Amino acid sequence: MPTMEEVAKQSPEQRLARMTRTADDYAAAIRGQSDAALSRRPDAKNWAAKEVICHMRDTEEAFFTRFETMLAMEDPKFLPVNPDRWAEERQYLRNDPGETLAAFRKRREENLAFLKKLTPDQFKRGGIHPTRGRMAFDDFVTLMAWHDDNHLDQLTRALDGKA
């Protein structure tokens, strides 16, 4: 799996192309898996495959909210999120994986359409991430492409019973 630094060296087109494939990659990874297999956590600390897909859906929504805010404001400050809290409060293990993946796919398509419409000047706009500092749209595209690979790896490990 490439590091964040390696992903950042790719062209925006390459990173966006990677992001375009993500929903299909996740669908292929879970195809034919039972709900029990998708719901099984590899250990007490790590997520089940179903929880990974829910996380992807919810972070995609958070990215879109941040993107809209970046266009509306000058360097807005973003609140931190707690993915483990989302998993518990939003009861990820009770979600239907097919519906969750469909929702992720829809949100991802919306984000890609949004990003592809940005002008070069808009692409330079940014916001203040709570742990990463100022991030422009280009930085978010890097983060999202890396995030896709990172969690696909986590999902496949969970299905193999590995943390």
- CATH number, domain with residue 60: 1.20.120.450
Tens digits of pLDDT across the chain (163 residues): 899 999 999 999 999 999 999 999 999 999 999 999 999 999 999 999 999 999 999 999 999 999 999 999 999 999 999 999 999 999 999 999 999 999 999 999 999 999 999 999 999 999 999 999 999 999 999 999 999 999 999 999 999 999 9
Rg (CA), the chain: 16
Q: Is the pTM of this model over 0.85?
A: yes
pLDDT score for 10: 97
CA 118 to chain centre: 20
Count how many domains the chain has.
1
pLDDT score for 115: 97
Q: What is the largest CA-CA distance in the chain?
A: 48
pLDDT score for 31: 98
Domain that holds residue 129: 4-159
